[in-house]
Amino acid sequence: MPCRSVTKLMCLGNHVASLTFLRGSPLLPIHTSSCNFSTKPKYGFKPEKVAVVTKTTRYEFEQQRYRYAGLSEEDLKQLLAMKGSSYSGLLERHNIHTSNVEHVVKSLQKEGIEVKVVKRGEYDTEVVQWADAIISAGGDGTMLLVASKVLSKDKPVVGVNTDPERSEGHLCLPVKYTRKFPEALGKLCRGEFRWQWRQRIRLHLEGTGINPTPLDLHEQQLSLEQHSQAHRITTMDHQQKTGTLNESFSNSSLLPVRSLNEIFIGESLSSRASYYEISVDDGPWEKQKSSGLSICTGTGSKAWSYNINKLAEQAVNEILKIGKCQTGLAIPLNLEFIEKITDEYNESLVFSPEDRHLFFSIREPIVNRVFSSSRQRGFASKVCVRSRCWDACMVVDGGSSFEFNDGAIATISMSDDDQLRTVVLHN
């Protein structure tokens, strides 16, 4: 009889226990305290002032990059062609984006809403304070940036996917509203939506050599060199302000960021192994060596964490084949069945954005005489990590980077106060 439940795994030491969820219901572990925030709006939502934050298109990016080198538009075309890229393709995507932004802006203005259009580089807390609501006009990356500066759980953030053909837009409104934005506005006005509060992660940092000033990675131009250089500059600034040596021990400070997707901890250089110690839910400390650590929210369980943990059909096929061989049982190995098992496995990695749990995953754990890994992944309420790294970082939503070197201790947790208010429109 086909199984109706989706199982999620929690490893406890060498024993394996599981939490079972009914297929089809929101993936809430049984023991989560229920959310106290009402999801039904009392009235419709009609903001007076809306900030529209726009992404930088690849075309604009390449233009800026080569303008500094004094190249003409024609030079740019040839250069891109030589690299195998298409100038006209980039321009087309740029025009699609700007036209979709115009559509959103006009739709808002038609309703008598005051609109401020802000490029991502100009977006700051002043804009957040001014606006009653903020619209992200771009893809998921832009949405993460917009959310990163909203620390209050009262300010609604709405994402519009301005290039549905190229962008996944998991965090954005369904793509049908991109060219029919008045429909979305209408539903907001009439209360035909529900609020969705997405849980986020908060970070405390303490120990030696820490610097609570993050580096903004959103400026994609940053090479490795600039990344570390900038880390060093913010560290020196911090030292000047506080009068402390980089090596002094600092007490725990709550960082001024909240993570909507995930925190990644590891060496900045992708080819270098990361060394650290980890304690889950105040459990025993474990020394680990790996390619880094990801700690995600329910929202983020569809993002990087998903890619770290998902399995390819190739791997599932091999496991079932070995299982079949070892047991002699008639385990099917046709493509359809393999796809089914693979999909069910991968789906079990995703959980609700409203779930107040962290999900940690160790990338490529190295297990030998010195380093252990009792659990490669699992749920937690709190994760503590002590860096034993040389030149590592703590990256928030792929956008802000904190130095996290030898001796620094991070405490990763969640609080209802940090939730992000988003909307889910009725169908």
Least distance CB 388 / a copy of itself (angstroms): 8
Q: How far apart are CA 395 and CA 305, in angstroms?
A: 13
Least distance CB 51 / a copy of itself (angstroms): 27
Which of 6-14, 33-41, 94-102, 197-205 is the region at the interface with a copy of itself (rule: CB under 8 A)?
Answer: 6-14
165-194 binders of a copy of itself (CB under 8 A): 165-166, 168
Q: How far apart are CA 392 and CA 402, in angstroms?
A: 8
Residue 107 DSSP label? H
Q: How far apart are CA 377 and CA 355, in angstroms?
A: 17
Q: What tokens does 288 get?
A: 């680990």
Q: How far apart are CA 218 and CA 145, in angstroms?
A: 8
For a copy of itself, the closer CB: 133 or 338: 338
Q: Judged by CB under 8 A, does residue 376 bind a copy of itself?
A: yes
For a copy of itself, the closer CB: 132 or 277: 277
Least distance CB 338 / a copy of itself (angstroms): 8
Q: Judged by CB under 8 A, does residue 407 bind a copy of itself?
A: yes
Phi, psi dihedral angles at 197 (to 5 degrees)? -95, 115
Least distance CB 292 / a copy of itself (angstroms): 6
Q: What tokens does 324 get?
A: 């079949």
For a copy of itself, the closer CB: 2 or 112: 2
Least distance CB 332 / a copy of itself (angstroms): 7
Q: Judged by CB under 8 A, does residue 251 bind a copy of itself?
A: no
Phi, psi dihedral angles at 336 (to 5 degrees)? -60, -45
Q: Judged by CB under 8 A, does residue 16 bind a copy of itself?
A: yes
Q: Judged by CB under 8 A, does residue 30 bind a copy of itself?
A: no
Place of tokens 């619209």: 135
Which of 30-38, 177-185, 193-201, 216-224 is the region at the interface with a copy of itself (rule: CB under 8 A)?
Answer: 216-224
44-73 binders of a copy of itself (CB under 8 A): none
Sheet containing strand 358-362, strands side by side = 215-216, 400-403, 392-396, 262-267, 293-296, 358-362, 377-380
Least distance CB 414 / a copy of itself (angstroms): 21
Helix (H) / strand (E) element for 108: namely helix 87-110
Place of tokens 């290039």: 163
**Position 405: which residue type?**
N
260-319 binders of a copy of itself (CB under 8 A): 264, 266-272, 290-292, 304, 307-309, 311-319
Helices (H), 280-375: 304-309, 313-327, 335-347
Least distance CB 398 / a copy of itself (angstroms): 6
Least distance CB 418 / a copy of itself (angstroms): 21
Q: Judged by CB under 8 A, does residue 211 bind a copy of itself?
A: no
- 13, 14, 33, 427: residue in contact with a copy of itself (rule CB under 8 A): 14
Helix (H) / strand (E) element for 116: namely strand 114-119
Q: What tokens does 145 get?
A: 């940036």
Number of residues that bind a copy of itself (CB under 8 A): 99
CA nearest neighbour of 257 among 153, 379, 397, 357: 397
**Position 314: which residue type?**
Q
- Contact map string, positions 322 to 361, toward a copy of itself, x by CB under 8 A: xx-xxxxxxxx--x-xx-xx--xx--x-------------
Alpha-carbon radius of gyration of the chain: 23
- 391, 411, 413, 416: residue in contact with a copy of itself (rule CB under 8 A): 391
Q: How far apart are CA 269 and CA 392, in angstroms?
A: 8
Least distance CB 378 / a copy of itself (angstroms): 8
Q: Judged by CB under 8 A, does residue 236 bind a copy of itself?
A: no
